[in-house]
Amino acid sequence: MARRVCQSHAADSRLMVARMDEGARQTRNAADQLAISQERASLALDAARMGEFEWEIPEDRLIISERMARITGLPAGAMPGEQGSASYRYVHPDDVEPLRRAVGEGLLKDGRYEVEYRMIRPDNGRVQWMSSAAAASRDPDGMIRRLIGVVRDITERRSEDEARNALVAELDHRVKNVLASVQSLAAQSARKTTSLDAFLKTFAGRLEAMASAHTLLTATRWRGADIGNIAAAELGGLAPGQARWSGPEILLNPRATNALTLALHELATNAVKFGALSAETGRVSVTWIERPGGGFELTWVERGGPPVNAPTRRGFGATLLERVTGRELGGAAKVEFMAGGVRATITADATALAAETPFAAPVTRPVTVPPTTPQAGASSGVLTADAVKGRRIIIVEDAVLLALELEAGLTEAGAKVVGMAADVEEALKLADSEFDVAVLDANLNGTPVTPVAELLKQRGKPFIFATGYGDAAPAPEGFDAPVVRKPYNVAQIATAVAEALGRG
């Protein structure tokens, strides 16, 4: 009997020990699982380049992890929460109030928030963009007792976003400028032709020249194009064996590339119709040299063609060569009808050369005005209302094709264009003339027109903006002036002018 009791006690002891061992194993397993989970969380935070924090609200204690300290420059460990104020001490002043509102609204709505803001690092003063997300832990009464969250440095991502937005805005600007230039080219070609067939041939040729320039620029990602490539594109397939070109490698910027392409196209077209390229014996020589002060001088010489007579009627081709090409290249163009053949000289200054750095979009913000509905005949510059009749207008526009078309359309509408400028310096001088209203291109070859707008505002002179940038892209800010988006027509400009005069 006693033996059975002892055996029973021994069995109970072994069972108790076994249970204790099982409990210990479970405890160890739980601890191991917790350690593994913590290690996984730590690795995930390291991989995501995140740092964690915790705010114990009843104790008003803010705890910064080592990871967050490395990301933000804040000291690691516990510090007074200062009723939440400690979290905003290093936030950029412009972002403090928006951040407070976003955090408060998120916590009230669903007990969590996710925000982006700028902070100024306390260790080196560097401004960096941060992303922060946190969730609240509540007690049974629903009161928030703890806030647990993570932060991440997103400065690089924000910089990439801003660069991408700038590129999109610049692409939008360029496309709209191209459309506006095509529109002006069509209108100007139509003004100088007497038949539909002649118009279609002339316009198609000029459009092909613009497309050729675009192809050259695309190949260099819009850094520019070499004069030799421009000459080859215009003359290589037009007159095999009859045209030669030579000169040093000179890279032109996109604006100058378009201008020179159109100039060579006009000269080649004239040579095929009336000059050296209309006969098998004719020859064309194109040479260019660098100018001592920068830029270039290009010479076009025709020989061996039919007798040359000076034209009795001045067409748009001549205007394109002398006014557009000269202005766009910062130089001049001269065409001579000599007995032995046509001779043309085109000069350009250093502004025509490709820049070392890519074009940067201006950083101002637009004033948005709803676009007007084009009226019948507006695309050709014929208005049905006296919106600008008798008004004296100055035009500030760096794209000379657009300026010429706008001048012609406004003149037909009864306005008087008293002057045109293509850059800020010219525009400031033109502002001293007698005029009623100004049409300002928002961006003049990479320079904001803001100084001109400021001067006109000081003098109480009304003006409007014309821009190739979209609604969400740059244009001068802080001015009570209408904005017309390219491509526009004269009716839209006239309506905006009338609005600006009414505001004045």
- Name the pLDDT band for 264 (thresholds 50, 70, 90): confident
Q: Look at residue 1 and tell me whether its pLDDT is greater than 90.
A: no
Query: Residue range 360-385: average pLDDT?
Result: 32
For the chain, the first-to-last Cα distance in angstroms comes to 119
485 or 155, greater pLDDT:
155
- Name the pLDDT band for 254 (thresholds 50, 70, 90): confident
Mean pLDDT of the chain: 76
- Residue 37: is it exposed, middle or buried by C-beta count within 10 angstroms (0-12/13-18/19+)? exposed
Any idea which residue has 């003063």 for tokens?
125
Tens digit of pLDDT for each residue in 5-47? 455 555 566 666 556 666 656 555 555 554 555 555 455 555 5
Query: Residue range 165-185: average pLDDT?
Result: 61
How far is residue 374's CA from residue 384's CA, in Å, rounded to a whole number? 11
401 or 307, greater pLDDT:
307
Output the pLDDT for position 378: 29
Output the pLDDT for position 439: 92
Percent of the chain with pLDDT over 70: 67
Query: Residue range 196-200: average pLDDT?
Result: 68
Q: Look at residue 62 and tell me whether its pLDDT is greater than 60.
A: yes
425 or 469, greater pLDDT:
425
Residue 462: how many other CB atoms lie within 10 Å: 20
- Poorest-pLDDT segment among 13-27, 76-90, 225-239, 446-460: 13-27
Query: Residue range 67-87: average pLDDT?
Result: 87
**If you compute the radius of gyration of the chain from its CA atoms, what whole number of angstroms results?**
36
Task: Identify the CA nearest to 68 among candidates 54, 53, 51, 55.
Answer: 51
Q: Look at residue 385 and tell me whether its pLDDT is greater than 70.
A: no
In the chain, domain spans: 48-153, 193-352, 378-503
Amino acid at 239: A
Output the pLDDT for position 463: 92
Query: Residue range 377-402: average pLDDT?
Result: 66
Nearest 5°: the CA angle 202, 179, 373 is: 110
Q: Look at residue 290 and tell me whether its pLDDT is greater than 90.
A: yes
Output the pLDDT for position 199: 67
CA distances from 16 to 20, 82, 326, 365, 371 (A): 6, 52, 103, 79, 88
- Name the pLDDT band for 116 (thresholds 50, 70, 90): very high
Query: What are the residues facing 263 on neighbouring strands?
Result: none
SS3 at position 197: helix
DSSP-derived pairing of the beta strands 243-246 and 50-56: unpaired
How far is residue 376's CA from residue 383's CA, in Å, rounded to a whole number? 8
Q: What secondary structure, in 3-state letters, does 441-503 show?
A: ECEECCEECHHHHHHHHHHCCCEEEEECCCCCCCCCCCCCCCEEECCCCHHHHHHHHHHHHHH
Q: Look at residue 361 and tell me whether its pLDDT is greater than 50.
A: no
SS3 at position 1: coil
Q: Order across the sheet with 463-467: list the strands.
A: 416-421, 392-396, 437-441, 463-467, 483-485
Output the pLDDT for position 120: 92
Output the pLDDT for position 45: 55
Ranked by mean pLDDT, the top range of 81-90, 99-108, 207-216 is 99-108
Q: Look at residue 376 and tell me whether its pLDDT is greater than 60.
A: no
- Cβ atoms of 476 and 390 within 8 Å: the answer is no
193-352 has CATH 3.30.565.10 classification: yes
Tens digit of pLDDT for each residue in 146-174? 889 999 999 888 888 887 776 666 556 56
- Cβ atoms of 443 and 424 within 8 Å: the answer is no
Q: Which helix (DSSP H) or strand (DSSP E) does residue 183 occupy?
A: helix 155-191
- Residue 423: is it exposed, middle or buried by C-beta count within 10 angstroms (0-12/13-18/19+)? middle
Tens digit of pLDDT for each residue in 402-432? 787 788 888 888 889 999 988 889 899 999 9
- Name the pLDDT band for 481 (thresholds 50, 70, 90): confident
Query: Residue range 426-451: average pLDDT?
Result: 88
- Name the pLDDT band for 114 (thresholds 50, 70, 90): very high
- Cβ atoms of 227 and 198 within 8 Å: the answer is no
230 or 193, greater pLDDT:
230
356 or 76, greater pLDDT:
76
Query: Residue range 428-453: average pLDDT?
Result: 88
Task: Identify the CA nearest to 151 among candidates 81, 65, 77, 78.
Answer: 65
Residue 80: how many other CB atoms lie within 10 Å: 11
Output the pLDDT for position 194: 67
Q: Look at residue 379 and tell me whether its pLDDT is greater than 60.
A: no
Percent of the chain with pLDDT over 90: 20
* Residue 390: DSSP 8-state: T
Nearest 5°: the CA angle 266, 267, 273 is: 90
How far is residue 119's CA from residue 106's CA, in Å, rounded to a whole number? 20
- Residue 87: is it exposed, middle or buried by C-beta count within 10 angstroms (0-12/13-18/19+)? buried
48-153 has CATH 3.30.450.20 classification: yes
Q: What secondary structure, in 3-state letters, does 225-246 show?
A: EEHHHHHHHHHCCCCCCCEEEE
How far is residue 210's CA from residue 217's CA, in Å, rounded to a whole number? 11
- Cβ atoms of 398 and 423 within 8 Å: the answer is yes
Residue 247: how many other CB atoms lie within 10 Å: 18
378-503 has CATH 3.40.50.2300 classification: yes
374 or 418, greater pLDDT:
418
- Name the pLDDT band for 370 (thresholds 50, 70, 90): very low
Q: Look at residue 289 and tell me whether its pLDDT is greater than 90.
A: yes
